[in-house]
């Protein structure tokens, strides 16, 4: 893809990494016969933008005090997180081949005791966002200057612990905290709006004292402009509602609840990989 005039030079890398991450996550799910490929794919462009355009980190010093923090609250989408960490240099790419194998460090939910670059053990939904609020409070108190980002699923927003966290973040004026909601409209088994309605999600977060913006969660330029923007004079936490497509990139997976934790057959794997350019 030829960059547009005045286009941010980081965008080519972000797009390239996102394409690789989708192919690699698909290969991991196919190999292990386990995973959550639909949610991996909806979050891929978000993680690619964060790791290759926004976050400050050093894989050689994964616990550096001044690093930016990213918490993957939707921990069931561990596949795409592992691809991002491997691509960022936290561990060798060939570790990805052990995804969910017995005794693997790359288990179904990320574990900070197993892998460098994982900030929190997540998977129980509604767990990661409160942890991220605590991390942001620590940064506020220490004055270390790092930013904290947390990605939740939209179905995860039905957990009450998230709203306790949202109140606390607003009360503390955590301008160093950015919540990203992967708003693909689907959760395990059904539409979010047919399970427990979330809309108007933007108005709800504003009522809790947050700044709110909506973006196309598959447009790296739009994501980069919002997620990479300096805090500036902001005095409140930021909620970014990223409109995404579950299963993005593979036509027969897109917008289908069955791919929340679906595993492709060999024929489906080959067809999907062809669509992804693999």
pLDDT in tens, 32-85: 999 999 999 999 999 999 999 999 999 999 999 999 999 999 999 999 999 999
User: Which domain, by its residues, includes 61?
Assistant: 16-275
Model pLDDT, residue 233:
86
pLDDT in tens, 151-204: 999 999 999 999 999 999 999 999 999 999 999 999 988 999 999 999 999 999
pTM of the model: 0.96
Domain contains 4 = no
- At residue 269, does pLDDT exceed 50? yes
CATH code of the domain in which 256 resides: 3.40.50.970
Complete DSSP assignment for the chain? -PPPTT--THHHHHHHHHHHHHHHHHHHHHHHT---HHHHHHHHHHHHHIIIII----TTSTT-TT--EEEESSTT-HHHHHHHHHHTTSS-GGGGGGTT-TT-SS-SS--TTTSTT--S---STTSHHHHHHHHHHHHHHHT----EEEEEESGGGGSHHHHHHHHHHHHHT-TTEEEEEEE-SEETTEEGGGTS---SHHHHHHHTT-EEEEEETT-HHHHHHHHTS--TT--S-EEEEEE--TTTT-TTTTT-GGGGS----HHHHHHHHHHTT-
Domain contains 6 = no
Model pLDDT, residue 184:
96
Give the number of domains in the chain.
1
Q: Average pLDDT for residues 198-217, to the nearest whole number?
A: 98
Model pLDDT, residue 1:
43
Domain contains 134 = yes
């Amino acid at each position: 893809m030829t960059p547009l005039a005045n286009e941010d030079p980081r965008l080519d890398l972000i797009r390239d990494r996102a394409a690789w991450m989708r192919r690699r996550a698909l290969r991991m799910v196919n190999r292990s016969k386990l995973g959550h490929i639909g949610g991996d794919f909806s979050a891929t462009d978000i993680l690619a933008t964060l790791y290759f355009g926004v976050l400050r980190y050093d894989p050689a010093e994964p616990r550096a005090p001044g690093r930016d923090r990213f918490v993957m609250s939707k921990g069931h989408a561990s596949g795409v997180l592992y691809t991002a960490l491997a691509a960022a240099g936290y561990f060798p790419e060939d570790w990805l081949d052990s995804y969910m194998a017995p005794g693997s460090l790359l288990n179904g939910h990320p574990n900070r005791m197993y892998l460098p670059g994982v900030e929190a053990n997540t998977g129980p939904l509604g767990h990661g966002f409160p942890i991220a609020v605590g991390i942001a409070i620590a940064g506020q108190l220490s004055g270390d200057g790092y930013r904290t980002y947390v990605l939740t699923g939209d179905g995860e927003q039905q957990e009450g612990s998230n709203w306790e966290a949202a109140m606390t973040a607003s009360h503390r004026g955590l301008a160093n905290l950015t919540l990203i909601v992967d708003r693909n409209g689907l959760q395990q088994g059904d539409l979010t709006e047919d399970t427990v309605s979330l809309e108007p999600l933007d108005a709800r977060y504003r009522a809790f004292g947050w700044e709110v913006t909506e973006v196309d969660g598959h447009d790296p330029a739009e994501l980069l402009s919002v997620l990479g923007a300096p805090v500036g004079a902001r005095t409140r936490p930021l909620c970014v509602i990223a409109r995404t497509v579950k299963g993005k990139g593979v036509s027969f997976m897109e917008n289908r609840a069955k791919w929340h934790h679906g595993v492709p057959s060999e024929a489906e794997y080959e067809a999907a990989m062809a669509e992804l350019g693999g």
